[in-house]
Structures are given as C-alpha cells and as structure tokens.
A and B are shown apart, each in its own frame.
Chain A
Amino acid sequence: MLTVGLNLAWTGISAAAAGVWWVSAPVGSPSLSAVASDQGATTLAISHGIPGWYAPKSGEFAPLRTPAGVASSGGSAVAVGAEGRLGVVAYGHGQLAEASEGGAVLSLPSVPGVPRAVAVAGGDPELVAVATSRGLFSGRLGGRLARVASGVARSVLAPPTSSRAWLALVNGRLWERSVHQGWAPAYSSPDFGPETTALTELSSGVILVGQPGGLIWRGDRDRWTRAFQVLPYGGLGGVPTVTSLAADGATSAYVGTDGFGTLLTPDGGYTWYRAPPPVAAISLLATVGPVFSAKAHGYVVAVSDDRVFLHQLQALPEPPTYSPTGETEELVGTAAVTLASALLITLLLWFLDRRQRHLSV
C-alpha cells in the first residue's frame, strides 16, 4: 500500500494519454529554432537562420525577403515576435526588420548586442522590446529603441492580455513594464541566474520561470515560490535542462526539457504531469494561435532537433450528466456477494477440515 502518496493526486493525466495529444508536423515541415505567434493566425518562425511565415498545421514555411542592410551583413535571424499580422525579426548582428503578411519587409533601427528574444504588442502605438546581450531595449515599432535595462537580457514577453505587464529577464532578474509605467525591476523577483531564459505568463497573471538547472519558479508581483524541480536523469546523466516554457491558458503551461520531453501543469504550477511527445529532448516550445481565448483552438508547438510536434488545444466537452440508478440493488448485491463468499469459504474450510480429519484417522 505504497499507494498512499498516489491517492493524493489521483485524477491525473496519464503519460500515455498525453502522448497521443501530440502529432508530428506534416512531412516537409522545417526544422525550427524560434517561433512567435499572436493570438490570431500570424505565425513567424526561423528555420536554419532564415525567418519566414509558418503554418503549423500544413507545415508550410514561406521565407521572408531579407532587407538590404541585413543582407549585406550576412546575419542570420535569431529571434522573432509577432502581433496583428506583422512580425519583427532580429538578426544576429542586432539588425531588426519588420515584416508584414503582405510581403513587405522593412529594415528597422538596430540594437546593440546579440538579440536573444523579441516581443511585439499591438495597439496604438505598437510597441516592441528586444532582449540582447547588451541589455533590454524597448520603444515604438519603427522608431529607435531605448535601452531600458543594462546587462544581459535573455527573454522578453509581450503581455498575453492587454491588462497584463510586459516581462523580461535581465541579469537573471525579472523586469516588468505595466500598462501605465515604464520598465522597472520586479521588486519581489528572486535571482534566477544569468543563464535563465524560460519565461512565460499565464493569462491569470501567474508567471513561471524555469532555471536551466530544472527549478521552476511560480510567482506574481508580490510573491515567488519554488514550484517544481525536474529531477536528475539518473547516475551521471545530470539534470535535464529546462529549455522553454509556454503558457496555453489561464492556468496551464508546458515546460520543455532536454531529457524528459514536456511536462504540463494544468493549475498554474501546483501540480505537474508528464505530457511528452515521443522525443525526450525538446529545444523549443511555443503557442500558436488563440490559446488564451475562452474556446482555445490554437496549437502548442514542441520542437526537437529534427522534428516538430503539434498539440491542438480544444475546448473540453461538457461532462455528461450522471444520475445514479439502482444504488440499493447494488448495495444489496455487494453485501450478498460478500456474505455468500464468506459462507462458501467457511463451508469449504469446514469440508476440508472434515476430509483431513478423516484422512488423519
């Protein structure tokens, strides 16, 4: 009855069930190194250093035309952001480009350092933020971006809903930009370490940060707690690295690891389930399409070294209404079986005893 621990979290999702959620991307889908999507149909990705519009369901990838300034420097795309039918691409030398789905690609003022992440948000004005090796840069789309934080910035997120804050990881600490204020360090943020890149925000406002060493933090503006620790793979295998985080709702999020595939929390980081596609190393997770709407029907994209897997989010059906019937009969039947078993076994024991007594005599 080692089951004592098991009963505490009984209504889990089995790994087998989770496994069938994932389907391989269509044959011919590109190998991806970055994916960004808005809450609509706009999805920008990078494949082998080339940015392009990406359709997860069909696997189609339409490369962008490289702006003249970027083409002359020969840089490869390293990060993308998408919002409202436009995308922003960051190249390795700090150049930025704006791409619209119509096909136009405009060169934007560059930023210092090597870009790590790009985020863009719609509205008036459209805002963009870029995390680079020289700091965090933010400003209006099309204008020169201002450095809002110095140091090594590794991640930046546009808010999942308009009421939420922008988030970034700079020198291992969380920075945020609320609706009415500029960028500032989150006063309650722990030091996540300078190598931490995995960051996501649920639409409920809960923030998850995954350190490379496997520790997942859960927090909000006021309080942070250690939510989850990915354990060592075993022996000398070390701890699988947390590679990415992707929120896909108000309380659910995926964690990508390079040893245990993907893990899923359905309740904002309190409980975690194993929900891996059939590969152990996931280098990138992203959500595509409307994942934060009431009737989510977007995708979670999981990328390994050479394959892409999709999990289509869907609204769960209404649970069936259940009216118990025949409870009394069931109870009587159960009691009768118990009594009959006991009586039968007693009779058999008595018969066995008689028989053995007879044999011993």
Chain B
Amino acid sequence: MIAGLAQRWVPPTLPTARVLARSWGPLGLIVGGAGATMLLPRLFGDPQSVDPDLWRLTAYFAAITAAALVIRSLRSLAPLAFSLLTLTLPYACWLWLLGYGGPAPSLIGAPYGLARNAYAGVAWLLVTLILAAAFYRLTPRPRPRLRIWVRPRLGAMLLALSVSVLFLAVAFALPGPLIGREGVPLLSLGGSAAVAYGIANATSAVAQEIQFRGVLLAALERQHSPWVALILQALIFGIAHIATQYQGPADSFIPIVILLGLLWGWMTQRTNSILPAAVVHVVAELFLLATIVSGLYGH
C-alpha cells in the first residue's frame, strides 16, 4: 500500500510542477487557508465551548494533502502539505489524550492527571515518528533530509551543550521581571509531578524538533534554498505557538520562539542532525517548566 501511495506521490517530471512548488504562492495560499480555517469558525462558534481548532487544522491539511495526491499537477505540493499535517496531527492527538476537546480514552489515568501528561507526551512523540517515517517513505527520491537518524559528531554535541549552558546562563543572568521569572514550584515537583512533567516536556521537545527541524525543514528545503527554508520553518514555528492554545503576551514571546526556531534550525543544518537542537530544546523546555513559565504567562 505504501509503495502504491509512493507511486502516486512521485511528482510529475513536468517542469511546471517544479515551478509551482518552488514559488511562494502555494505556501502562502496553504498557510492563508489554514488561517481562515482556524479563525473563521470563531466568528460563529460558541465562545464557551471547546474549540477543536487543532483537529480543524489537521482536517484541512489532510484535505490539502489528499487533493495534492489526487490532482496530478499539484502532486509536487504533497510533501509540503503532509509536513504541515505532521505539525498538527500529533499535537491534536496530544490534546485529545490529555482530555481537552472531547472524551479522552480512560486507559491512561485521570483526565488532566500527571500520568496522562507523561503518556500523552510519549504519544505525541510516537505519532510524530510514525508520520515522519511516512513522510520519508512517501517522498520520492531524492529522499528528504530528515536528519533524524544521523548520528551527530562530537563537535555537534559539544555545540549543543555549549548553547544549552549559554541559554541557561543568559536566562538566569537577565533580571527576573524582564523574562517574567518570579518563582517556581520547583521543589514541589520533586515527586511524581517532576517525572510526569519532565517526560511530557522532554518528549514534546524532541517531537517538535522532528516536526519542525526534521520534516518541515526537509520539505521546505526541497522547494527553497536552505536559508529560505530555515527562515520559513522558524516563522511557522512562531505562528504555531500563536495558533495553539497560547494565551500569553504574544508580543514578547513569539519573537523569542522565532529566534529559537532560527537557532535550532541553523544548528540542525550545520550539524546535519536534529539531535543537538533537540538537546538544547529539551533543556529549554525543562528550564521553561521549572523557572519562567508562570511569570511569562502572567501567572
């Protein structure tokens, strides 16, 4: 079945298809359509109800992917559409497993519970890996440079550790109110909560690296220059933080996310592996969880 799908996925050799894929129009249209899909239902939706926005985006990207597979002339866009689907589907699954937006399965602990956080984080990573593998298998040769399985060299890991240390040093050196840091239930997380939240954040960080610096960057690099792909994935990384359940001060946080996306994307391109960026991202996630999240988000 996969081979059959791969056959359908193979882009036509028509030069026009490549022209379409390399132009800015398709990406703009797809992202614009995602924005409309995200925002329009809020005009008539009940503000008191749970908005299944991630599922809506997932359905939209799935429909675009399907259309690109069916319409021969659009097939070269299928990897890009599928890479965007890879961003939303795992996250939607994660929210569902956590208990947001509908009845969640009862096998993994109480809704919103600690254990459920850990399981949902692992599920996010697994779904992402499955989609990344599908993306790799279904994309025609030359295969996309997912950089997931590449073992980084020692220098790359030293770079990751150095950036992590620098990140923590800068974050702790900055005055607390500047980054919203005022305190943390750090020591109360010494028990099961620390394990659950730690697993949830670490797995989600790795999953995000696979999603953005693995699949999305690879999809964009097939159609744009490395620098353009780097910038685009960072912008989408930033937009994704607006598009999710984000309710904080976007004006200060989103630029930081975009800069982090640029840094981690650059590290991925330089080291040809997502592992160094994943290390830094995990450190950042745990640091955020442990230190500045509550202040940054006004809590």
Are A228 and B299 in contact, with the CB atoms below 8 A? no
Are A1 and B59 in contact, with the CB atoms below 8 A? no
Contacts of B32 in A (CB 8 A): 345
Any B CB within 8 A of the CB of A62: no
Are B19 and A341 in contact, with the CB atoms below 8 A? no
Q: State in angstroms the CA–CA spacing of A10 and B184 once bound together.
A: 15
Q: A3-B246, A8-B117 are in contact. Are A274 and B178 (CB under 8 A)?
A: no
Per-position contact with A for B63-92: 1 when CB-CB < 8 Å, else 0?
A: 110011001011001000000000000010
Any B CB within 8 A of the CB of A339: yes
Are A352 and B26 in contact, with the CB atoms below 8 A? yes
Are B245 and A12 in contact, with the CB atoms below 8 A? no
Are B190 and A226 in contact, with the CB atoms below 8 A? yes
Any A CB within 8 A of the CB of B197: yes
Within 8 A of A (CB), among B276-299: 284-285, 288-289, 291, 293-295, 297-299
Contacts of B63 in A (CB 8 A): 338-339, 342-343, 346
Are A4 and B121 in contact, with the CB atoms below 8 A? yes
Are B45 and A274 in contact, with the CB atoms below 8 A? no
| B contact residues, range | 35 or more
Query: Which residue of A has the minimal Cβ distance to B248?
Result: A6
**Partner among A230, A271, A330 whose Cβ is within 8 Å of the Cβ of B44:** A330
Per-position contact with B for A310-349: 1 when CB-CB < 8 Å, else 0?
A: 0000000000001011110010011101110111111011
Are A337 and B187 in contact, with the CB atoms below 8 A? no
Q: State in angstroms the CA–CA spacing of A342 and B64 once bound together.
A: 6
Any A CB within 8 A of the CB of B109: no
Are A333 and B44 in contact, with the CB atoms below 8 A? yes
Query: Which residue of A has the minimal Cβ distance to B66?
Result: A342
Are A226 and B16 in contact, with the CB atoms below 8 A? no
Are B298 and A338 in contact, with the CB atoms below 8 A? no
**Partner among A226, A260, A338 whose Cβ is within 8 Å of the Cβ of B182:** A260
Contacts of A324 in B (CB 8 A): 46, 48-49
Are A327 and B49 in contact, with the CB atoms below 8 A? yes
Query: Which residue of B has the minimal Cβ distance to A217?
Result: B187
Contacts of A126 in B (CB 8 A): none
Any A CB within 8 A of the CB of B222: no
Any A CB within 8 A of the CB of B2: no
Q: A1-B241, A333-B41 are in contact. Are A270 and B16 (CB under 8 A)?
A: no
Q: A326-B46, A356-B16 are in contact. Are A346 and B245 (CB under 8 A)?
A: no
**Partner among A15, A232, A270, A341 whose Cβ is within 8 Å of the Cβ of B188:** A270
Q: State in angstroms the CA–CA spacing of A274 and B292 once bound together.
A: 12
Contacts of A350 in B (CB 8 A): 71, 73-74
Contacts of B173 in A (CB 8 A): 234-235
Q: How far is the CB of B200 from chain A (nearest CB, A)?
A: 6
Any B CB within 8 A of the CB of A227: yes
Any B CB within 8 A of the CB of A5: yes
Are A353 and B288 in contact, with the CB atoms below 8 A? no
Q: State in angstroms the CA–CA spacing of A339 and B63 once bound together.
A: 8
Any B CB within 8 A of the CB of A273: yes
The residue among B37, B77, B285 with the most chain A CB atoms within 10 A of its own CB is: B37
Contacts of A229 in B (CB 8 A): 183-187
Any A CB within 8 A of the CB of B3: no
Q: How far is the CB of A254 from chain B (nearest CB, A)?
A: 13
Contacts of A269 in B (CB 8 A): 188
Are A353 and B294 in contact, with the CB atoms below 8 A? no
Any B CB within 8 A of the CB of A7: yes
Q: State in angstroms the CA–CA spacing of A259 and B178 once bound together.
A: 13
Query: Which residue of B has the minimal Cβ distance to A335?
Result: B59
Q: A12-B298, A263-B182, A353-B20 are in contact. Are A215 and B187 (CB under 8 A)?
A: yes
Are A341 and B245 in contact, with the CB atoms below 8 A? no
Any A CB within 8 A of the CB of B147: no
Within 8 A of B (CB), among A209-236: 214-215, 218, 225-235
Q: How far is the CB of B183 from chain A (nearest CB, A)?
A: 4
Q: State in angstroms the CA–CA spacing of A352 and B63 once bound together.
A: 18
Any A CB within 8 A of the CB of B15: yes
Q: How far is the CB of B158 from chain A (nearest CB, A)?
A: 25
Are B175 and A237 in contact, with the CB atoms below 8 A? yes
Are A234 and B174 in contact, with the CB atoms below 8 A? yes
**Partner among A9, A228, A327, A334 whose Cβ is within 8 Å of the Cβ of B183:** A228
Are A4 and B285 in contact, with the CB atoms below 8 A? yes
Are A231 and B298 in contact, with the CB atoms below 8 A? no
Are B184 and A228 in contact, with the CB atoms below 8 A? yes
Contacts of B71 in A (CB 8 A): 346, 350
Are A9 and B29 in contact, with the CB atoms below 8 A? no
**Partner among B56, B77, B184, B298 whose Cβ is within 8 Å of the Cβ of A16:** B298
Q: State in angstroms the CA–CA spacing of A10 and B299 once bound together.
A: 9
Q: State in angstroms the CA–CA spacing of A135 and B298 once bound together.
A: 42
Q: State in angstroms the CA–CA spacing of A234 and B33 once bound together.
A: 43
Per-position contact with A for B16-54: 1 when CB-CB < 8 Å, else 0?
A: 110110010110011011101100110011101100100
* 8 extra interface residue pairs, beta carbon distance < 8 Å, beyond A10-B245, A346-B74: A3-B246, A5-B201, A12-B294, A227-B185, A228-B185, A234-B173, A330-B45, A333-B41
The 5 listed contacts between A and B (C-beta, < 8 Å) are A1-B204, A5-B288, A227-B185, A274-B295, A349-B67
Nearest 10 A/B pairs, CB to CB: A342-B63, A226-B187, A345-B33, A12-B299, A357-B16, A14-B298, A5-B289, A260-B182, A346-B67, A234-B175
